[in-house]
Chain A
Amino acid sequence: MNGAKVELRGLRRNFSGTAALDGLDLTIESGELIALLGPSGCGKTTALRCVAGFEQPDEGTVLVDGKDITRVPANKRDAGMVFQSYSLFPNLNIRDNVAFGLRVRKVPAAKRHARAQELLELIGLPHIGGRFPHQLSGGQQQRVALARALALEPRVLLLDEPLSALDAKVRVSLREEIRRLQLSLGITTIFVTHDQEEALSMADRVAVLRAGRLEQVADPATLYDRPATPFVAEFVGTMNRVPGRIDGNQVAVLGQTLPVDGDLPGTPDVDVLIRPEAVRLTPDAEAEGMVLVSSFRGSTAQLRVQLGDIEVLADVPGHDSVRLAPGTRVRIELVERPVLVSASSGATAASAKTPVPEHDVV
């Protein structure tokens, strides 16, 4: 089984006046696992459904290995799909679920059952062939759905938030398993998720979507360290917005001067985007900053520090959380490296008070 190259060219799709896809261009290389990441309504699922054939784009084309499949019906496409949840046929046992596609293709019973068994062994559940879906846990059901999607040896695998309904521990183990399978089969995979951690940990490349357009596509490290736009910077990981002032190619922020990365906005007053791990804290009874809240996360602790009328998030090693307990006066220092800036969002102080994207609030 080798993966196909998938190209999305200028995809547009409107739902009653709202553009779900607004000219999306994206190329997924053969054998690659790409994550489509974005907030809800950004068009990531619509893009996936266009590849599966469940949505027809109003404009644009979907190419698989250079062949235009935009108008090919869903049941004639060479792509296996895993849905969010509850997609196993409830009236068929696990073996028949996995072998469904083979049954539709009139493969003899003995042959398709052997193939189903092979797939159940591949997903580590060889003994459940005779059970019905409702007798399985959520994680097991999604594994079976994966086996079913792979049964016809498709050249493209489509995953539509397959882990979102599972609990945290199962989610982590299953995403590792999906990645392991994907690498061993070399199947081109498009993975839709709104969970940045999932995207960063699994994908070869992550495509961040916003309002139906591609914001940036890059490998996880680049996406995190060198986000192309303020939107990507704030959506991927946690980001502080701290008021600063442009001075030539540099920006003055919190008493330091740092080089600016990327475009300079027209106005001198800007918001400087700083990762919590780039904020260093030192206890100092004379300093202005004060630790307000400390969220211990094991290896790290995230501290919320009041500095004048703004708040800054800082990630520190877990063992430092004791000496940086709430109420401690601290000096703030930023790691010397290029920073992204965006046009000041007006009432700077007010906006800086909510530096965390909504989904990541502790």
Chain B
Amino acid sequence: MSAPSAVRTASASGGRRTKSKSWLATVPLLAFVALIFGVPLVIILGGTFKRDGAFSAANITESVQGAYLTAMIGSVKLSALVAVVGALLGTFLAQAVVTSRFRLLREAVLTASGVLSNFGGIPLAFAWIATLGNSGVITKALGLDSAGWSLYNFWGLALVYLYFSIPLMVVVVVPALDGLRQQWREAAQNNGANTWQYWRHVGIPVLTPTLLGGVVLLFGGAFAAYATAAAMVGGTVPLVTLQIANALSGNVLIGHENVALALSLDMIIIAGLVMAVYLPLQRRSARWLR
């Protein structure tokens, strides 16, 4: 009887040893996170509550008033629109591709989605300006300018943001759609369910955690985007990222750098609020996974 107990002891102490040292592996990651999140956060917090060398809430107060408030609302509206529309269209596109019998189409769409979901900044703005801007190829060819078309407004910006958001949603949701087993659909049919009942009771609930994650991801991507908007609309569409840039560069008023930090803090709070809504929803929708 001594042999098994010896084995047990050895494996137990082995387990403890592994556990006690395992945290060391996370040190590089923690150091990295501390550097790229921690340091900026400290600077933001420090700067936000300081004006003219003294502790003050003036920056925060100013950041939620007037043009800054308008910009914040504009950013939230744009991001929410892009997130919801992008998630919907991306999911339908992904489902079309996943159920397609043409393997080549699937490969092509997935590759294109991988590339386009990373397309952003000045090159993206330029591509759109050259095609659908005031003197864009398609604008001129179809005479859209005389019909009152303009890319340089809220809706134009939403269109451009969707250009990378829809592919991002495709990339996110395709694995989840692939994970829907044919047997579930057939078992549902076998139990008398029609297509809609299958989606309502099985398909959509199984996908919900992924869909919610996709919406949040798209929201975050649109909320934080700066270069595309800066190159396309400059100051004509109020967005918080553009306001931060203006305040930092002293474009409108000098000495407002700390308002930029306050606006950054506001963005963090908005992101936190989004997560506060998302996480319980996600947990609820994924309770069958635990």
A residues adjacent to B (C-beta < 8 A): 52-54, 73-77, 79-81, 83-93, 100-101, 103-105, 132, 134, 145, 148-149, 151-152
Given contacts A86-B183, A90-B206, A91-B288, contact A74 B201 (CB under 8 A): no
In the complex the two chains form, is B187's CB within 8 Å of A83's CB?
yes
- Whether A52 touches B202, Cβ cut-off 8 Å, given contacts A90-B288, A104-B197, is no
On whether the beta carbons of B190 and A79 are closer than 8 Å, the reply is: yes
In the complex, what residue of chain B is closest to A83 when comparing beta carbons?
B183
Which B184-241 residues have C-beta < 8 A from chain A?
Answer: 184, 186-194, 197, 201-202, 205-206
- Give me 24 A-to-B residue pairs in the complex whose CB atoms sit less than 8 angstroms apart, sorted by A's number: A52-B190, A54-B189, A75-B190, A79-B190, A83-B187, A84-B183, A86-B181, A87-B181, A88-B187, A89-B184, A90-B184, A90-B289, A92-B202, A101-B191, A103-B201, A104-B188, A104-B192, A104-B193, A132-B288, A148-B187, A148-B191, A151-B191, A152-B191, A152-B192
* Contacting residue for B188 out of A53, A84, A89, A149, CB 8 A: A89
Please classify the interface of chain B as helix (H, G, I), strand (E, B), loop, or mixed, using the class held by over half of its residues: helix
Nearest residue (CB) in A for B195 is A75
The answer to whether A89 and B189 touch across the interface, beta carbons within 8 angstroms, is no
**Residue of B whose beta carbon sits closest to that of A54:** B186
Q: Assess whether A75 is in contact with B192, with CB atoms less than 8 Å apart.
A: yes
Asked if residues A75 and B206 are in contact (CB atoms below 8 Å), the reply is no
Q: Are B189 and A75 in contact (CB under 8 A)?
A: yes
Beyond A92-B201, A100-B201, A132-B288, is A87–B192 a contact (Cβ under 8 Å)? no
Query: Closest CB of chain A to B206's CB: distance in Å?
Result: 5
Q: Name the CB-closest residue of B to A88.
A: B187
Residues A89 and B190 in contact in the complex (CB < 8 Å), given A100-B201, A104-B197: no
Other than the known A101-B193, A152-B191, what 16 A-B pairs have Cβ atoms closer than 8 Å? A75-B191, A75-B193, A77-B190, A81-B187, A84-B183, A86-B183, A89-B187, A89-B188, A90-B206, A100-B187, A100-B201, A104-B191, A104-B197, A134-B288, A149-B190, A152-B192
Given contacts A86-B183, A87-B184, A90-B288, contact A81 B190 (CB under 8 A): yes
B188 touching A100 by the CB < 8 A rule?
A: yes
Q: Which of B's residues lie within 8 Å of A, judged by CB?
A: 181, 183-184, 186-194, 197, 201-202, 205-206, 288-289
Complex contacts, A79 vs chain B, CB 8 Å:
190
Chain B residues with CB below 8 A from A83, complex form: 183, 186-187
Main secondary structure of the interface of A (DSSP, over half): loop
Smallest beta-carbon distance B180→chain A, Å: 10
Q: Which residue in A85, A90, A100 is a CB contact (below 8 Å) of B191?
A: A100
* Complex Cα–Cα for A152 and B181 (A): 23
B202 touches A89 (CB 8 A): yes
The reply to whether B193 and A89 form a contact with Cβ atoms under 8 Å apart is no
Note all chain B residues with C-beta closer than 8 A to A93.
288
Q: Cβ of A89: which chain B residues have Cβ within 8 Å of it?
A: 184, 187-188, 201-202, 206
Query: Is B193 a contact partner of A87 (Cβ separation < 8 A)?
Result: no
B23 to chain A, nearest CB (A): 29
Whose C-beta in chain B lies nearest to the C-beta of A145? Answer: B187
A92 CA / B194 CA spacing, docked (Å): 18
Cβ of B181 to closest chain A Cβ, rounded Å: 6
10 closest Cβ pairs, A-B complex: A101-B191, A87-B183, A91-B205, A74-B189, A75-B189, A87-B187, A91-B288, A81-B190, A104-B193, A83-B183
User: Please, which residues of chain B bring their CB within 8 A of the CB of A75?
Assistant: 188-194
Whole-angstrom CA separation of A102 from B184 in the bound complex: 16
Residues on the B chain within 8 Å of A90, using CB: 184, 206, 288-289
Chain B residues with CB under 8 Å of A101's CB are 191-193
**Complex alpha-carbon distance, A105 and B191, angstroms:** 9
Residue of A92, A100, A148, A152 near B288 (CB, 8 A) is A92
A58 to B51, CA, bound (A): 81
Chain B residues with Cβ below 8 Å from A81 are: 186-187, 190
How far is A75 from B197 in the complex, measured between Cα atoms in Å? Answer: 11
Residues of A within 8 A of B183 (CB): 83-87
A169 to chain B minimum Cβ distance, whole angstroms, is 24
| In-complex Cβ contact of A91 among B192, B197, B202 (8 A) | B202
CA distance A269 to B181 in the complex (A): 53
Within 8 Å CB of A84, what residues of B?
A: 183
CA distance A100 to B183 in the complex (A): 14
Q: Contact check, A91 vs B191: say whether CB atoms are below 8 A apart.
A: no
Q: Which residue of A lies closest to B180 (CB)?
A: A90
Task: Chain A residues near B193: list those with CB within 8 A.
Answer: 75, 100-101, 104
Per the bound structure, the CA–CA distance linking A88 and B192 in Å amounts to: 15
CB distance from A47 to the nearest CB of B (A): 16
